[in-house]
Structure formats: C-alpha cells, structure tokens
Amino acid sequence: MKRFEKRGFGAEIGVRAGAIALAMAISVAAPGEIALAGAPDAAAPVAGPRIAGAPVIPVAAGPSIAPALDDAQIAELLRRQSIPFDYLDWLMPEVGPAAGGFQYGAASQSPSVRHDKPEAGVIWPNNYTELIGTKAAAELPGWGIRALIIYADARNASGNSAMDSAVNSAANSPAYYRIQDQAQGAACVDDTARMALYLADRFALTGERGAFERLRGTLAFVAYLTPLNGNSYNNVWLDSPRYFGPDEFQRQNRHYMTPFDYLARSAYPADMRALQSKRNADAASMVRDDRGQPAKAPPYVDHAPYSIVMNDLIGPNGADIAPQFRAPIYEWRDGRLNAVGESAPMRLGFSASQSRPGFSSTRALWAFAHARRVLAQGAGSGSGAGGAAKNAAPPADAAFADFLDGYARLLLAPQLARPAEAMAPKEAAALLIALADLVEGNRARPQAPVGDDAALRRQIGRLADALVAHQRRDAGPLQGLFASAVQTNAGQATAGQTATARDADWRAWGEAEIDALAQAWNLGPPRRPEWLAAARLAADGFYARAWDYFGAGRARITALDHGAPQRAYQIAYDQTPIALGLFELARAVEPDSPADAARYRAAGLRVAAWFVGNNEAGASLFDAAFPGRLRGGVERGRLLSSAGGESLAEGYRALVAAQQALTARTASQSGPMEAPAR
C-alpha cells in the first residue's frame, strides 16, 4: 500500500501516540531467551534476543550509528528470531463468511460483490467452477478470507506507561490499534499479496499447517478482488466499529473522497485532477482551530461494511467514469468546527483501487505464481527445521493447486500484453519475478502449465532488457543505479526521460531489480550475459554504497533528491528486496565464483539483520510485548511506533529468506519459525 506508513499514518491524522525511543540490551543469556531492556525515557519494554558476548547497544539520541554486529552475531540473531502468528492474526483477521464478512453467492459459485461503483463495467466470476474447477469451487468458502489491514500503531509507544503483555494480546487492546486509510480503504491486495509470498516461503521452510491455512485465506482475499479481466481491485472497506479506533472517525463506516479530506477546508482546489494524490493540497484553505492547528474533518461518504472500493477513473471502453462528488466546506467558530456549505461538483482525480494494469495486479499475479511454484516444487516436505513434524497440510492438495492454476492464468493474460519499455523499473522487476515463478512452476507442474513457456520467456527477456536500459553504467557514485522515472508536478511517473533526468529523484523502497535480473539469469537459456552483468554492477556499485552491506550495514542512503543523497527514515520495504536480490545473485554466481557467492550471501544477511538489530537504533524491530509485532522503521536512531501491513509482510519475508539462506549454508541449523504451529 502506498506510503502513509513511512512515518506512521497516525501522525498524519492526529492519532499517533509518538515515536518510540527504545534500547536493546544484548548480553549473555541462555539460548532462545528473550531480553527486555529499559527505554531511555521510562520502563517501556523492548524485545531483543540476547547474544553471548555482544556489546550493549543504546539507542542513539540523534543520527549517530550504534556499534556494528559481526557476521557471527548477525547469523545468530537471524537463526533465533521466531515469528509467532499472534500479531499477524490481529492485523490480518478472518473477514470471510464465517466472520460475517465478505460472502459468496448461491451455491458458493460466485462472489457477492458489494462496491461503491456499480457502473464501472467490470464482470465478476458468475461461476467459480468454470475458473478453478468443481472441487476448488466447492472448498473455497471453507478456506476463509484474510485481509491484511494497512496501518497500525501503539498508544503507549512514547514509553510513558508499561505495556502489559496480558492486555496487549487481546484483540483491540487499548495499547495497540489498527488504522484504516479513510480515503482509500482499510485493507489492500498490494500488502495482502506480499504476505502471501511470506506464508508460501514459510510453508516451504517449515511445513506448518498454520502457514498453509493462512496462505489459502490470504489468496482467497486476492481472488475475491479480481474480476474476469484479470486486473485486481486493490482496496476494501471492513466493518469500522469492529476493527478500528481509538479515533472516533476511524470507527465510522464512512470515508473521504480524497487523501487530503481529513483536514477541514474553507475552499476546494479548482482543479482536482491536477492535484492527484497530494494529501495536503491547497494548504492555504485548511481550517485551523484556536491553536492554529489544522482542524480534522469528519468523513462524509457512507459505505457498506465489507465492500470493495471500485474508484475507476476510466471505463473498459475508455470513457471517463471517475466518481463525482461534492465535499463539505467548513469554518472554525466559537471553539468548534462548523459545516457552512459544500464544494462545486468535482471528479476524483486519483484512486488506488482501479481495475487496470498496475502494481496491485502485478502483485496479485506474483502471489499466485509464487505459491504455485512453492507447492509444485514440493514445499512443506520437511526440508526446513521442524517441517516433517508439522506438515499436516500436504502440498499435493489438488483443490488448492487448481485454484492457483486458475487465478494465475486469469491474472497473467493482461500482464503479457504490457509494453516492458513503458514500465517503471520497480514494477517491471516485480512482474519479471512473477513470470519467473510461473516458468519454474510450469517445470514442476507440467501437467497443468500456466501460459506458454515461449511467451513467458519473451516477456521476461523484454523486461530484463528494459531494466538493463534503465541502469546507470557510467563511472561515478551512481554507477549501477536503476534510474527512476521523473515525478512531475501532477505526481505521475513520466516515461521516456533521459537517464540523467530520471536519476534526479529516487527512493529506496521496492528496489527488486537485482533480484529480477538474477532470477532471469537463473532460469537458464535463453539468457543474455548483460542481465547478470547488470545485476553484479548494481550489487557492487550504487546499492553497496547506499546500503553499506559490504561494511557495517547500518547506514543507508534512502533517497536521491535532485541527485543529492538523503539519509531519511528507513523502512522495511527498503530492506527486503535488496536482501532477496543479494541471495538470488549469490545463487546465480555460485557455479563460477563461490567466493563471490559467499560475499553476496553475507551481504544479504547483513541487510536482513536490519530487522533484528543491525540498524541505526541498534535494536530489534520485534516487540516482545505483542508476539510477532514488527515496527515499521527507524528514524534518527529511534524505532517508529507504527507497525502496519507492508512492514509486517516485508519484514517477515526477509527473515524467512535469511533463514533459508542460513539453512542452505548449514543444513543442520535450527529454523526460525519454531513458534507453536496453530
């Protein structure tokens, strides 16, 4: 989901409790013991596995960097970190028929879709049997539907009161609360599909029934939002009073029409479309309270609980169908907010939930392709530690395999038609990886191929060539960088710019290009040496400098603004694609250069260890007070209090990938996911 979470969405809407200021004491302890260390401000507990002989690492008061851990300490931290399901189940609840949420139609053969835009012109499956087969259609309603909520925060994150684990483990605890984006939705395909990647990888490593069952429910959500054109909608509304708080507006089944509507306004911009997604647009018109602070406006559009956000801007025939609305106009008088009128009719100029080719549809395909590959290759057979004992869900589940095949085919069709050269590098990389998963899945499941292998390989080749074309190859500090597209004043990515112009602004999130090119190479012939060369140039060039993974691995260049390096707050989505790319590159070079493979693998482990203490705060992002909770980032040596869906999915996947890398290196080592399976 797009980027409110970076600094905690609650900060933007006035409910964030404050940044966490925490420390992790790493000292001698028994194996597996979890330490609680005091925060600088008070007695707030902090989680961190204790590693024998490691130094005490305090939280820095500013941007200074804590002492580095060596590779042995990093490996030990990664091995010992467990991921219980507690927080995941709280943030990704069951929202299907059994919970009174999303429903299926008569005889469980179609989705009972409720949405905001019935005239959008899309066609939903009217018979799941035709799409996924009789057995899968009959079983699908019993798998449940799990939706990953976009944002969450901690009320007591300031450290002013202790977090009692008995209280915090309860749903809707006063210490922890979930947050919906009331301009776009409560949960989304973008993040839920990424959680599916993690659950598939976890099942591959451990064989846990709990991972398998959650994977089915997660993919059922992605499928529910996918009409027959193969382009998934991204967002849904849930039942606000049931899931959200403590803010009174968060508990309403109502929403805003634009991302900046939560601030009261005395006037609206004349040109909504030009403003696109700028949340604080037309700042001069904000209504301010007696303290001079922007007043928060109540949401003003009703929606049904458990409904799909269908804010299409363009219909299937190319017509303008953007939602039209009038927004309230306010004034502040006598110590209160007063509605005094409404705006002229406006058309929505931006939406994150449209049925069109885009990142949400790409991620949906990736989730199905990856799960299909993992299960077809025999996941859950006990290759990871503890797998044999926990493998109560056989990977040869015929109904689930048919479900994966059917939706992978549906989602693939529009992706093969996309022009690779017109795609931004980040999304091109994600699509390439999804297609590589399909190729590998077809090799393992030749009796039911998804897509023509030659067509898949052609699109992979075009995408890989496009990534190479985006790369800076000239000598200098940016050598190896995959150039981002220029951001115009309207907030839209502009294709076809020169490399120098595209490099002016870059962000560290989602940099999966190394992973994509290495995967294209690892598929085998036909392949081009330029793909592997570009991956290595990136890994040894700009990205090594930006992530410092051949050094201490803690400093980060998180952005380029007009070409100038920035070291802003660090987030989970900055780390995971790089860690996975280095692991995949190690696999690519292993046959010809084992020493380089070991170097890349060690670098990937340093990046993944950002989640367990190898960061500027010197603290694990895991919260012992709520098992499985993973904070959203680090800013100026302090942990952020937010812990939303994107961070959870990315962090979990980095941890399981690191565990897979360590297991491959030392097969006898214990696995990481040894919290009790449920």
Q: What is the DSSP string of 124-143?
A: --S-HHHHH-HHHHHHGGGG
Q: Answer with the residue of higher pLDDT: 461 or 25.
A: 461
Contact 508, 557 (CB under 8 A): yes
* Predicted confidence (pLDDT) per residue in 437-452, tens digit: 999 999 999 999 999 9
- Residue 516 and residue 471 in contact, taking contact as beta carbons nearer than 8 Å: no
Query: Is residue 100 predicted with pLDDT exceeding 50?
Result: yes
pLDDT at 489 > cutoff 70: no
CA distance 518 to 533: 9
List C-alpha distances in Å: 669 to 112, 384, 563, 599, 660: 47, 9, 44, 20, 10
Q: Is the pLDDT of residue 587 over 70?
A: yes
DSSP annotation string for 48-86: EE--TTPPPBPPPSSS--PPPPPHHHHHHHHHH----SH
Q: Is 61 within 8 Å of 648 (Cβ atoms)?
A: no
Distance, C-alpha 61 to centroid of its chain = 29
Higher-confidence position of 220 and 552: 220
> What confidence tens digit (pLDDT) does each residue in 372-404 have?
999 999 865 444 433 343 444 444 589 999 999
- pLDDT value of residue 106: 58
Question: Do the beta carbons of residue 185 and residue 237 sit within 8 Å?
Answer: yes
Higher pLDDT, 199 or 318: 199
By the 8 A CB rule, do 304 and 101 touch?
A: no
CA 164 to chain centre: 28
CA distance 651 to 457: 30
Q: What is the pLDDT of residue 33?
A: 22
- Checking if the pLDDT of 667 tops 50, the result is no
3-state secondary structure 507-572: ECCCCCHHHHHHHHHHCCCCCCHHHHHHHHHHHHCHHHHHHCCCCCCCCCCCEEECCEEECCCEEH
Taking all residues of the chain, what is their mean pLDDT, rounded to a whole number?
Answer: 80
**Residue 111: its pLDDT value, please?**
60
Tell me whether the omega of the peptide bond preceding residue 526 falls within 30 degrees of 0, making it cis.
yes
**Range of 552-561, 624-633, 657-666 with top mean pLDDT:** 624-633
Percent share of the chain, pLDDT over 90: 61
Whether 34 has a pLDDT exceeding 70, the answer reads no
Measured CA to CA, the distance from residue 544 to residue 551 in angstroms comes to 9
Band (25; pLDDT cuts 50, 70, 90): very low
Residues pairing with 622 in the sheet = 630
The mean pLDDT value for 77-95 works out to: 96
Gap between the Cα atoms of 560 and 558, Å rounded: 7
- Asked whether residue 432 carries a pLDDT value surpassing 60, the answer given is yes
Q: What's the pLDDT score for residue 396? A: 58
Task: Give the residue with greater pLDDT, 157 vs 146.
Answer: 146
Question: In the predicted model, is pLDDT for residue 99 greater than 80?
Answer: yes
Q: What is the pLDDT of residues 119-141, one digit of tens each?
A: 556 778 877 888 999 999 999 99
Entry pTM:
0.84
Residue 333: CB atoms within 10 A of its CB come to 10
Residue 627: phi and psi, rounded to 5, are -55, 130
Q: Please name every residue paired with 36 in a beta bridge, in sequence order, or none if there are none.
A: 47
Q: How far apart are CA 218 and CA 194, in angstroms?
A: 10
Closest CA to 678 of 393, 480, 370, 373: 393
If pLDDT is split at 50, 70 and 90, which confidence band does 17 have? very low
- Residue 665 pLDDT grade (very low, low, confident, very high; cuts 50, 70, 90): low
Express each pLDDT in 512-538 by its tens digit. 999 999 999 999 999 999 999 999 999
Whether pLDDT at 2 is above 50:
no
- Domain limits of the chain? 246-308+314-347
Count of alpha carbons within 13 angstroms of residue 341, beta-carbon side: 8
